[in-house]
A = this chain, B = another copy of it.
């Protein structure tokens, strides 16, 4: 029996980690593995059965797609699948799977961390510490404060559970309005977002990037939020109209923002977000716990074993929706 051909898109600095990963060993025995950077992707895709997009920041897949002739399955080492969602892919028969589940609890911890940073003015304490200044302040409680988590996938659910566990009042926003959700209680419809935003102290963006969610957080959305509200983005930068966010932060439309993702990454040096006092910038790392890369390979290896043995793949993306539909 002929071995299947697996193309692996990875950065030059990632190839060694991958080839040395214990989880890749059984795959290397069972398949012809072609590790490639962006430049060699088209060549690697020709006659490949499977594509593993390990370098999930790469935007190279659409341009190399012309070389696909027998690809059956594409797996991406991230939760968001927007880098591989283009018409040629969407309309093909290629099955798409993602790394749903890996980042959930880690991102939830990060979100709780930035909520507490705002509430307890921990960034203010660090600023004062730099000047050796002892300046007492009164700070906010988080118990009883309200949070709207926009995005009801597994990451949003992990965030909701964690914030609820520390006494916050949580609701969700998703494609369909509904009540009695086990994690969110009330879920509002994202297309009526501005009607609901005025009620919340914190708004967390964690929706997948789709045609429906692109630019969801615009001037109207920020105008609807409380002036005391803090906005947290751990989803995708393109969920936000960045200029509108900057304007809202500048004019006191909202009180602060913690941003882990941006419409351009790395965030350009001249972005005003870097220097705004009420903004916390982090470099797209909220989910990246120590050991995450091994876990990502393990998730792919598990699915590869399923594919070989004919078992149903895990985390199959609905290519029309742009994400893995929830079991709930």
For window 105-120 of chain A, which residues contact chain B by CB distance below 8 Å? 105-106, 109-110, 112-114, 116-117, 119-120
Binds B, one of A43-51, A131-139, A186-194: A131-139
The reply to whether B120 and A110 form a contact with Cβ atoms under 8 Å apart is yes
In the complex, chain B residues whose CB is within 8 Å of the CB of A140: 289-290
- Within the complex, the shortest CB–CB distance from A109 to chain B, in Å, comes to 5
Tell me if A179 is interfacial: C-beta within 8 Å of chain B. Answer: no
Tell me if A267 is interfacial: C-beta within 8 Å of chain B. Answer: yes
Instruction: Give per-residue flags for A75-98: 1 if the beta carbon is below 8 A from chain B beta carbons, else 0.
Output: 000000000000000000000000
Tell me if A308 is interfacial: C-beta within 8 Å of chain B. Answer: no
The reply to whether B269 and A141 form a contact with Cβ atoms under 8 Å apart is no
In the complex, chain B residues whose CB is within 8 Å of the CB of A269: 132
Tell me if A281 is interfacial: C-beta within 8 Å of chain B. Answer: yes
Number of copies: 2
Point out which of A120, A143, A274 has the most chain B C-beta atoms below 10 A from its C-beta.
A120
Instruction: Give per-residue flags for A118-135: 1 if the beta carbon is below 8 A from chain B beta carbons, else 0.
Output: 011011011011001011
The size of the chain A interface, using a CB distance under 8 A, is 51
In the complex, chain B residues whose CB is within 8 Å of the CB of A281: 125, 129
In the complex, chain B residues whose CB is within 8 Å of the CB of A284: 136
- CB-based nearest B residue for A281: B129
Point out which of A166, A281, A282 has the most chain B C-beta atoms below 10 A from its C-beta.
A282
The reply to whether B280 and A139 form a contact with Cβ atoms under 8 Å apart is no
Tell me if A288 is interfacial: C-beta within 8 Å of chain B. Answer: yes
Tell me if A142 is interfacial: C-beta within 8 Å of chain B. Answer: yes
Tell me if A251 is interfacial: C-beta within 8 Å of chain B. Answer: no
- CB-based nearest B residue for A265: B134
The reply to whether B122 and A122 form a contact with Cβ atoms under 8 Å apart is yes
How distant is the Cα of A289 from the Cα of B137 in the complex, in angstroms?
9
How distant is the Cα of A122 from the Cα of B125 in the complex, in angstroms?
13
In the complex, chain B residues whose CB is within 8 Å of the CB of A321: none
The reply to whether A120 and B113 form a contact with Cβ atoms under 8 Å apart is yes
The reply to whether B109 and A166 form a contact with Cβ atoms under 8 Å apart is yes
Tell me if A307 is interfacial: C-beta within 8 Å of chain B. Answer: no
In the complex, chain B residues whose CB is within 8 Å of the CB of A128: 283
How distant is the Cα of A78 from the Cα of B130 in the complex, in angstroms?
29
For window 134-166 of chain A, which residues contact chain B by CB distance below 8 Å? 134-143, 162, 165-166
How distant is the Cα of A34 from the Cα of B180 in the complex, in angstroms?
56
From B129, B166, B288, A112 is in contact (CB under 8 Å) with: B166
In the complex, chain B residues whose CB is within 8 Å of the CB of A275: 132
In the complex, chain B residues whose CB is within 8 Å of the CB of A162: 166
A-to-B contact residues, CB < 8 Å: 105-106, 109-110, 112-114, 116-117, 119-120, 122-123, 125-126, 128-129, 132, 134-143, 162, 165-167, 265-267, 269, 271, 274-275, 280-286, 288-292
Can you name 21 A-B residue pairings with CB atoms under 8 Å? A105-B141, A106-B139, A109-B166, A110-B116, A110-B120, A110-B139, A112-B116, A112-B166, A113-B122, A117-B122, A122-B282, A125-B281, A125-B283, A128-B283, A132-B271, A132-B274, A134-B267, A137-B283, A137-B285, A138-B291, A166-B166
The 10 closest A-B pairs by CB, nearest first: A113-B116, A134-B266, A165-B165, A132-B274, A125-B282, A134-B283, A138-B290, A113-B120, A129-B281, A136-B283
